[in-house]
Structure 1
Amino acid sequence: RNHAAIPEEGKDEHHLAVEPAKKASYINSRRTGESNKSHHALTTMSPLAHYSRNLMERLPDVMRHLPDFLWMLATDFVIPLLLGLLALSGALKLLLVSIRILFPPDEEALHKEALGVLKKADNAASRKEAKALLKKAIKRDPMFLKAYQTLAALQLYYEKDDVEGSLATIDYALQLFPNDKDLQQMRLDAKATQQNMGHMVRAGNFIGAKHIGAIGLRVR
């Protein structure tokens, strides 16, 4: 009631003075709100999204400096990724070795592994690895007949110049299994080979396929 009345002639000037102030206040409040929203979005953004956004903002400048960009890509992503994969591979191998030491395979598993090695490759290295596995199986169980048969067949029919080794394996196995017909036949073949009577060995070659399988190796 006590407010002084604004003269009619001053109302227009007062209105014109108030409107710009309101507009300025409104614009400032909008800018403040947008700034707060932007700050909130940045603070709640995941590190990867934040990095991606920064990268996209820098992309035009980076493309003008391609070598620097490639170096950054290699040092920030490629090299750490490769190092991580190498570390993971090494840890996995160490884990497998530890498991094999703590829980060694039995004679059946070793025999199966030896056959698998022979089926994968036909070379001296694979035969050497297979013989080592078969000898481990025999050491694990000295009464494991299949390991003796496979080892003797490998030495006699699939190896070169290992007749003496096959005879040693066969003679030892025959002391444990004197009535095994396959061991007896392999001994005859080994003796025939020693006497340069290879044509007699051909009749017994089926024993090699019986105990080793069709692994693509050439028998004598």
Structure 2
Amino acid sequence: MNGRLIFDSDLLNLLPVPHPVWDHQSLDTPDWQGAYPRHTRAYVRLDLSFRVYWHTLYDVCPELIGLSGQPDGLPIFRPFMMWAEKLQLSFNWTFYLWVYCWLLQSEFATKLTPEIVHKLIAASAARWAVMDRGINSGIVIGGSDFPEVFAGWKQHAVDGRREVELIELDEPLPKPEQWLGYFTVPQFELDLFPGWSEIPQ
């Protein structure tokens, strides 16, 4: 490997617990909460759910708010959520990858910067490192449009920390057949390539 970039550790700190303090009422539309009276339990549950996902996205990648053109970020958030619901996508560690997928198909595609793309993919690697309870030590995510890979590593020492790396390989791996691919590694080193798996829905 000829290059490793460790992302800001604050990225990992933002992932586990979103901060539901947003107090914006623009989600009150017929598409969502508008189907329920404001003070019903169903309305409150929907409202809280959307706020959590809003923070899950924008606390980690606030650059997307500027990209959306509005201070509430809803031109990106609302259509993405509706698209994800239509496709029945899982909001597990892949959440930020699906945001990236939607952005590539949206009116914002031409405005995406490498910094935003890198942050979204790194956030997914970090989310895996935080959420996964399996025996593997790391995840590697690669794309068909860029040569680098992103690796997320679990904490492997009491005084250690989780890490996310952007890695430039001396010999690039084969491109995934799809827009993105991933594989997991058992040890805390990228010393094998078992082949790409498709991003799970």
- When you count strand as a share of all residues, which structure comes out higher? 2
Q: Which has the higher contact order (CA 8 A, sep 6+)?
A: 2
Shared topology, TM-score over 0.5? no
TM-score norm. by structure 1 comes to 0.27
Q: Which has more radius of gyration?
A: 1
What TM-score comes out, normalization by structure 2 length? 0.28
